[in-house]
Amino acid sequence: MKRIGMLTSGGDCQALNATMRGVVKGLANNLDELEVYGFMNGYKGLIYGDYRMLTSHDFSGILTRGGTILGTSRQPFKLMREPDEKGLDKVEAMKQNYHKLRLDCLVILGGNGTQKTANLLREEGLNIIHLPKTIDNDIYGTDMTFGFYSAVDIATNTIDCIHTTAASHNRVFIVEVMGHKVGWLTLYAGIASGADIILIPEIPYDEAKIIEAINRRKKRGSDFTILAVAEGAIPKEIAELPKKERKKAMAEIAERYPSISYKLAADIQKETGMELRVTIPGHMQRGGSPCPYDRVLATRLGSEAAKYILDEDYGNMVAIVDGKIKKVPLGEVAGRLKTVDPECQEIRDAKRIGISFGD
């Protein structure tokens, strides 16, 4: 008999259900007896003992279903060691619920914050398997996270649709893509959709360079320009400030504008006299069915997680590296962020064909 617990934590995304399905099918097809307990709404369910036993019916027909059948919530890692409002020790409560159900393993699906808590539980003696989920693709130690390419598809389609109206009205359009700290999603969606300018957090932008790129297109006969802008994009002059002053400057922008894209739009319009529009697909990027790539990746990651559970090989993240699924020790990757290298090949290739990064 194997008893496993599962939870999904942090922001939802496509292929969470597909990944859980891969784990359970990989176990059920190789075990005579299996019990699966789903903790509801992320770590909150593990803390407060909100769970239910799952059956094969729960994992039928969910390969293409977005979101998560278990629900999710955000439980900041920095608060995990602090008692809740009633004085409950959250870490001890999670451990007690794990042992109460006599679990052999806890499978945790989530991003960076989720991973840090997963590693904390590993350090506390629990058997943990982590599966890397995020549309940001910013988890260190894996080439790809499930949810990323599905979000790229949605962001790309948004920019594709903007092209026709931008060309018809000779306007500058800014499409704001998700990504506070890293620009993988904006980079890939921008290249895939033929954006003229791509702004990501890792490359602070110079407004003068952006205006120069817009004017260069006008001289070549292109009266419209498409900008793919990460929500965490930052002006060069602010990025160069000390951390405290930088946070203050960004807070002042947030008081005046809904997002950095609106400030950029106002500045460009003032300098060029061109009409600008801002489009924000927002949470659409996390919704809908997973794309075929993510369904395959999720199934492979889930199947390999099942193998580690069968082998009783715990304490790892299941990653994809150079096209192969492999295990990566949680202690080596938890708390580390995978950012875009400004000198990476994708950016060099994009610049070679004329895409501006505002630098």
Q: So which residues are the catalytic ones?
A: 136
Q: Which residue carries 């295990």 as its tokens?
A: 327
User: Helix axis angle, 112-123 relative to 90-100, nearest 10°?
Assistant: 70
Q: Which residues pair with 97 in a beta bridge?
A: none
**Cα of 232 vs its chain's centroid, Å:** 13
Element counts in the chain: helices (H) and strands (E)? 13, 11
> Which amino acid is it at 313?
D
Decide if 117 contacts 73 (C-beta within 8 A).
no
List, in sequence order, the alpha helices (H) in the chain: 16-28, 43-48, 90-100, 112-123, 148-169, 184-193, 207-219, 236-239, 243-256, 260-272, 292-310, 330-333, 345-352
Q: What's the rounded Cα separation, in Å, for the pair 102 and 5?
A: 10
Q: What's the rounded Cα separation, in Å, for the pair 48 and 200?
A: 39
Cβ atoms within 10 Å of 170's Cβ, excluding its own: 13
